[in-house]
Amino acid sequence: MISKHPNLSATESFEESKIAQNIEEPEEVKAHLDTDSSFIADNPLPRVVLRPNNYSLLDGEWKFSLDEEDRGLREGWYLGHKYDHTANWPGSVEEHMAKTKGEVQTPAWQDKLVAWYEREFTRPEKLESGGKRIYQITFGACGYETRVWLNGRLLTDVEGGEVHYGEYNSFSFEINEDHLLPVNWLTVRISHSMDAEVPRGKQESHVYKRGGIWYQTYAGAVRSVWLETVERNRLRSRVGVQSLIEDSLVRFSFTTRIQDPGQYTLRLNIFERDAEENDAPISTSDYPLRLEAGQKQQYVVIEVPNALLWSPEDPHLYKFEAQLIDSTGYSAEIAGHFGLRKIEARGRHIYLNNEEIYLDGILYQPGTATYDEMRRHMYAMKDLGCNLVRVHIAGIDPRIYNLADEIGLLLWVEVPSPHSSTRRSRENHRRELLRMLALIETNPSVIIWSLYNEDWGAQDIATNPETRNYIMEIFHLMKIRYPQFLVVDNDGWQHISYEGKLKSDLLTAHLYTPELPRWIELLDKLTAGEMEGVAVLPLVIGDQYFYRGQTPLIVSEWGGFGFSDYGGPKSAEERTNQILAFKQELRKRNIAGDVYTQATNIEDEKNGLIDFHTGELSVPAGLLSTRSLPESTTDKKRRKKAK
């Protein structure tokens, strides 16, 4: 079944095409097809910015074979191969391996793994409109190394690479329509390894083996793949949003992809989020552009009159529609939502929209959760009283960012880290960061980025100037290019000081103890500005740093009660009481926020507050909210000062 996004009218139907035959549609796709043409939040594809095009999901049953001796490239499997098994896409290669061997447990693998997938699809209808549109195949996420062939022809992605490196973000291939046959075959080769220089978060490697806080690998065909129509000359579905709330201005960053050089007009329309199809925009503006062939980034600014701001208490969203119009009047369009918000770190405090905010956070590790399970987790974390979710060094379905925008949850995101510190690992880290930023620059919910966590992948941060210089370079890049975010250099400890200035917007510490007296001692040392004897390693390295209240303090990991390595009570009632006691001590001090560890159980870490599958809470709702506590000493002082 072929469907199109309901927001904007498409120019051609695929109704006669059988490209997705024999594929059972997910429930969200079926619901999607039944909706009217008004803008809705539901989005059956793993993407943030929407395109009013036709698309066909290529999910479902694929042919599958492991290539244990890595013979497939030499033997030309992409030209024809007898596959031993079938596998359901999306799904991890570990799951597919288990099913082929009839095992219940996902098998472990060492060093290198190569898997091949293939499926057929019938030729879609021939495109018209004077050759202004083309076909494109998009992978929601796949990897770590992915090669794709169409009818035995190796494809080059829109970034110009024959191999896509990465496993957390989408990538696309433009299709020459002349290369399509009545029946086509799509072949995918996925290669992964235990390489510690590759960004992998908390998935095991040659350095960190599975067990405790290190997890089973989850690689391969992990998100949907689809065939879609796109315009030859278009706006790419990556949009940056920076708000200037004092002037009700929004600066948009668009990326144009042009095959036919010429004069174009970028038209930007702003609507209320719930605007009807025929409602007039609340703001509109045209920007004439002379565009050459290739890709180009372009900033434009627009005023949103009497703008309402986005916050967790009032997550007010607007809709944008952006059109790239050529000299004949033909339009290529993308659409999405955004919110106006401002985040700042000033002195000891964090300010959202120029108002002080305390971050009631929780650590979230999605692991192998499905999109529906992640949705349940997000609502449950909101029910716990959190206004912040720290998505811990993992890639997630981009629709979760949109959900956070809608329900009012602040997000702290992190680059999945490599596990060794080398020049190559830093190059891989940089590429992964830039890929993530390109696709997560739209959402107002995202306020904090971590470059590293606990020096994983930067173990020599205290001794190697190259490592420190790299992190400082990225920090400065983000502060200039992405001012809408707060940036943490290395979360937990060993923050970098250069000439006495911290290269992090936040001074964060990971404090684990099940003993309340020890907890009080650690918090007192932290707020007194002691840099050693607080966390596992010194809080700051490099040049001497004097705290003196100039940076917000965040206890970005604490608790873990129930996990044997961290200690703490086992029963839900004991855990509840201890969390309340620890939280009260946090709020008595000049601390700007905290992040409880963690939302759900994951493998050996049995310290979750939320059922992984159902989303049910094992502790009372509101437990992690500051508002549920007796008024703290710090809050009393602030209220008295305000009077």
* Whole-angstrom distance, CA of residue 268 vs CA of residue 503: 36
d(CA 196, CA 430): 15
Question: What's the pLDDT band for 106 if we cut at 50, 70, 90?
Answer: low
Which of these, 239, 623, 629, lies nearest to 443 by C-alpha position?
239
Percent of the chain with pLDDT over 70: 90
Distance of CA 613 to the CA centre of its chain: 21
Average pLDDT over every residue of 83-105: 84
For 394, residues 6+ apart whose C-beta sits below 8 A from its C-beta are: 168, 201, 202, 365, 366, 367, 414, 416
Are the C-beta atoms of 359 and 594 separated by less than 8 Å?
A: yes
Residue 212: per-residue pLDDT? 84
* Count of all residues that appear for the chain in the document: 643
Q: How confident is the model over 294-299, as a mean pLDDT?
A: 96
- At 631, the pLDDT band (50, 70, 90 cuts) reads low
Instruction: Tell me which of 463 and 130 has the higher pLDDT.
Output: 463
* Extents of the domains making up the chain: 55-231, 233-338, 343-639
Architecture of the 233-338 domain: Sandwich (2.60)
- Whether the CA torsion 99, 58, 258, 337 is positive or negative: it is negative
pLDDT at position 172: 96
Quick one: pLDDT at residue 566? 81
Decide: 597 and 363 in contact? Cβ < 8 Å.
yes
Give the tokens for residue 350: 């964090």
Instruction: Quote the pLDDT of residue 454.
Output: 97
| Whether pLDDT at 268 is above 50 | yes
DSSP characters over 137-153 = EEESS-BSEEEEEETTE
Q: Provide the pLDDT confidence category of residue 11 given band limits of 50, 70 and 90.
A: very low
Residue 459 near residue 441, CB atoms below 8 Å: no
> Residues 6 or more apart from 605 whose CB is under 8 A from it?
212, 213, 365, 560, 563, 598
β-pairing verdict for 3-4 and 54-57: antiparallel
Q: Could you tell me which residue, 440 or 25, shows the higher pLDDT? A: 440
Q: What is the DSSP letter of 628?
A: G
Residue 488 in this model has a pLDDT that exceeds 80: yes
Q: Which residue has the tokens 């110009």?
A: 160
Instruction: Please tell me the predicted confidence (pLDDT) of residue 112.
Output: 87
- The residue with tokens 């940056």 is 240
pLDDT, tens digit (0-9, with 9 covering 90-100), for 600-629: 999 888 899 999 999 999 999 999 998 767
Cα distances (angstroms) measured from residue 185 to each of 62, 144, 148, 152, 304: 11, 22, 11, 8, 48
Name the one residue in this structure whose structure tokens are 């596998």.
Answer: 87
* Preceding peptide of 598 cis, ω within 30°: yes
CATH number of 343-639: 3.20.20.80
Which residues are registered as beta bridge partners of 295?
A: 257
pLDDT > 60? residue 637: no
pLDDT tens track for 319-329: 999 999 999 99
Q: In the predicted model, is pLDDT for residue 214 greater than 70? A: yes
98 neighbors 105 (Cβ within 8 angstroms): yes
Question: How many Å apart are CA 510 and CA 536, to the nearest integer?
Answer: 8
For residues 173 and 177, what is the distance between their CA atoms, to the nearest angstrom? 12
pLDDT over 90, % of the chain? 76
The listed range with the strongest mean pLDDT (89-93, 110-114, 184-188, 393-397) is 184-188
**How confident is the model over 59-90, as pLDDT tens digits?**
999 999 999 899 999 999 999 999 999 999 99
Q: Which residue type is seen at 382?
A: K
Task: Reply yes or no on whether the pLDDT at 37 is more than 50.
Answer: no
Terminal alpha carbon distance of the chain: 63
Phi, psi dihedrals of residue 99, rounded to the nearest 5°: -70, -35
Q: In whole angstroms, what separates CA 302 from the centre of its chain? A: 26
pLDDT bracket for residue 337 (50, 70, 90)? very high
pTM of the model: 0.90
At 105, is the pLDDT very low, low, confident or very high (cuts 50, 70, 90)?
low
- What pLDDT score was predicted for residue 33? 26
Q: What is the mean pLDDT of residues 227-233?
A: 95
Average pLDDT, stretch 234-238?
95
The pLDDT of residue 584 is: 96
Q: Which CATH architecture has domain 55-231?
A: Sandwich (2.60)
Contact (CB, 8 A) for 24 and 70: no
Query: What pLDDT score was predicted for residue 232?
Result: 94
* Mean pLDDT score of the chain: 89
Neighbour-count burial of 84, counting CB atoms closer than 10 A to its CB (0-12 exposed, 13-18 middle, 19+ buried):
exposed
Q: How confident is the model at residue 473 (pLDDT cuts 50, 70, 90)?
A: very high
pLDDT at 636: 53
- The stretch 472-489 carries a mean pLDDT of 97
